[in-house]
Structure 1
Amino acid sequence: MEVCFPMRSLLFVPGHNLKLINSALKSEADVLLIDLEDSVQPKSNKQVARDNIVDLISEGKLKRYPIFPRVNDRESGELLKDITQLTIGGINGFLYPKAKTGEDIYFFDKLLETIEYEKGYEVGRFKIIALIETASAVLHAEEICKASKRVIAVAFGNEDYITDIQGINDETASTIFTARSLIAMAARSQGVIPIDTVHIKVHDLEDLENNLKTAKKLGFEGMLVLHPKELDLVHKYYSPTNEEFEAAQEMVKAFEESEKRGEGVAIVNGRFVGPPLVKNAFHILRKHQRIVDK
């Protein structure tokens, strides 16, 4: 499914904390993930968070951003309250936590479908970003990606994953390399956007940059973000450079001209350019356009 907005940065903000929400609203994040789950404590604050989102939407304060609240999981007793109240205009979809298999996503899909039908929305109106944060979810990542047509992205939850496998994450991030690779491959195999895990050392921008370099090489297209100060680096690594954009334009133009001449490949700067490279060039051009249109 083609996404019409950039997803380089998905900024978390606790839904019950209006001070932090107002700070996030001054940021250049691509997507806001307004949390109803882990960061919203005690339990009584979950209703405060829902009410805050509804009020902010009615006041027009969230209209700059695609909004994906992180709902509570299916065993929490809060999920139905979350989506009953928040399947409203101004909400693009939901970040669904603790999915273990595709069955969890199928369940959530059908729950949304029932509410959409009852409220008179087009079925499929609300999209899903699935949060992969368990060993089971990593092993079932492809199944999760194709469990519903609503799934536009999958995001890696590193901290919960490490806890689940009873592992230890170190500065080399070697423990999560395999999980990252599997998630990125599963997402790309199904035309879904892979989003990398949060960087918890928010003041260590050098370490953030090292993580971004690795994640981009693995095929990730964006990142879960905890603090606005991380956004500049995240956007730098997940935006096409001017050189990449210009090279992509040149490549597409040369290939289209070669096709008109009945040739299978073009030569750009002494390099053969065939369909795989052209396909990648189109990806770059689409990313660039989504950022320009933001």
Structure 2
Amino acid sequence: MSIHPRRSALYMPGANSRALDKARGLDADVLILDLEDSVAPKAKEDARHSVCAMVAGRAWPGRETVIRVNGPGSHWFEADFEAACAAGPDAILIPKVESACALFDIAIRLREADASPHVRIWAMIETPGAILRIAEIAACADDPATRLDCLVMGLNDLAKETRARLTPGRESMLPWLQGALIAARAYGLDILDGVCNAINDTQAFEAECRQGRDLGFDGKSLIHPTQIAPANAVFAPDPQEVAQARAILDAFAQPENAGKGVIALDGRMVERLHAQMAERVVALAEAIAARTKSTPQSGS
């Protein structure tokens, strides 16, 4: 089972060369190199050049690198997308995806740009239209040409467009979060929770992480490096969970349990579906360990 740890996905402003360089020592699973919201119009061309040069030079080993381009229809999209395809990141994040048509158009552009087969597409879910058509958007993953791999929730934009309030507990957002998650899982996609704006409120951030984890999200998008460690901790299986998963797999691997759908383990009934869940827990723990080992740390 191949798994990409995506516990923490840190937005990095593409115009801030110092921050981009400092990211070499950050322990985020994913770096989202932003050419959109965090970059002023006058700085967009320089940011594009800087980000794409660093991606092409593989500046951040051990992390997934994702370039967020400016949205389709914007003045900068064509140049952003062409440069991103040439740089070869792990993925290109498309803002404000609202329909399947948008992703099929991206598929055509990928082919025309002769983008490397390893470059995937991530889609921002951040408008009312996206929420209304979330199943249609996620279903694009069934077409290999779209390369759709992950959905990313954009809750600040959703709050702006709907006038919903971002409150503790995110009651207004829960239907959207759950609907997007169900659509993602129905079509085999990963999905990342939206950002938490409370940079200095550790308790609020950790509470959002736990809520996202319990809902089923793979990780959280972040806006500050101090959020990395809590997100990594919350979205990783804890040692007890990993030990229990290994015990389930070991039990089903015993010759006497071959072919059995249900077995007794430590005083409880365990089904084959629990073994499948255990396989993912172990695979995720191993992938996290491998990524951590391959990632240069601060000061190294």
Are residues 1:132 and 2:125 paired?
yes
| 1:259-292 alpha-carbon deviations (Å, 9 max, x no partner) | 7544321211111111221111111111112112
- Tell me, what secondary structure is at the counterpart of 2:6? coil
| 1:78 Cα offset (Å) | 1.5
For structure 1, which segment, 199-208 or 99-108, has the greater mean C-alpha deviation from structure 2 after superposition? 99-108
**Please, what TM-score do these two structures have when normalized by structure 1?**
0.92
Greater mean deviation of Cα atoms: 132-141 or 153-162? 132-141
Q: Please state whether the residue corresponding to 1:282 is helix, strand or coil.
A: helix
Aligned runs of 1:1-294 on 2, under 5 Å? 4-41=3-40, 43-57=41-55, 59-116=57-114, 121-122=115-116, 124-148=117-141, 149=144, 150-257=147-254, 260-294=257-291
Q: 8 Å contact 2:252–2:258 — kept in the other structure?
A: no
Partner secondary structure for residue 69 of structure 1: strand
* 1:133, distance to aligned residue in structure 2 (A): 0.3
Structure 1: gaps (5+ residues): none
- Counterpart secondary structure, 1:174: coil
The 8 Å contact of residues 133 and 160 in structure 1, kept in 2 or not, is answered as yes
Displacement after TM superposition at 1:54 (Å): 3.1
Paired-residue identity, %: 25
Using the TM superposition, give the Cα deviation of residue 61 of structure 1 relative to its aligned residue in structure 2, in angstroms.
2.3
Q: Distance in 2 between matches of 1:146 and 1:126?
A: 19
Q: Deviations over 1:194-218 (max 9, x none)?
A: 1000011111110011111111111
Counterpart amino acid of 1:104? A
CA positional deviation for 1:110: 1.6
**Match of 1:176, as an amino acid?**
M
**2:194·2:220 contact (CA, 8 Å) conserved in 1?**
yes
Encode CA deviations 1:35-62: one digit per residue, 9 max, x unaligned.
Answer: 0101110x23111111112332455423
Instruction: Provide structure 2 residue ranges, at least 5 long, that are not aligned to the other structure.
Output: 292-300
Q: Match of 1:72, SS? A: coil
Q: In 1, Cα distance between the equivalents of 2:91 and 2:123?
A: 11
Aligned length, in residue pairs: 287
Distance 1:218 1:111, change over 3 A: same
**Kept in 2: contact 1:57–1:63 (CA 8 A):** no
2:66 counterpart SS class: coil
Do the aligned partners of residues 64 and 283 (structure 1) sit closer, same or farther apart at CA in structure 2, a change above 3 Å counting?
closer
Cα pair 2:67 2:91 within 8 Å, conserved = yes
Describe the SS at the equivalent of 2:25.
coil
- RMSD over aligned CA atoms reads 1.8
Q: Is the 8 A contact 1:255 1:265 kept in 2?
A: no
Shift of 1:145: 1.8
TM-score normalised by structure 2 residue count: 0.90
- SS of 2:226's equivalent? helix
How far residue 3 of structure 1 moved from its aligned partner, in angstroms, is 5.7
Amino acid at match of 1:135: P
Letter in 2 for 1:147: C
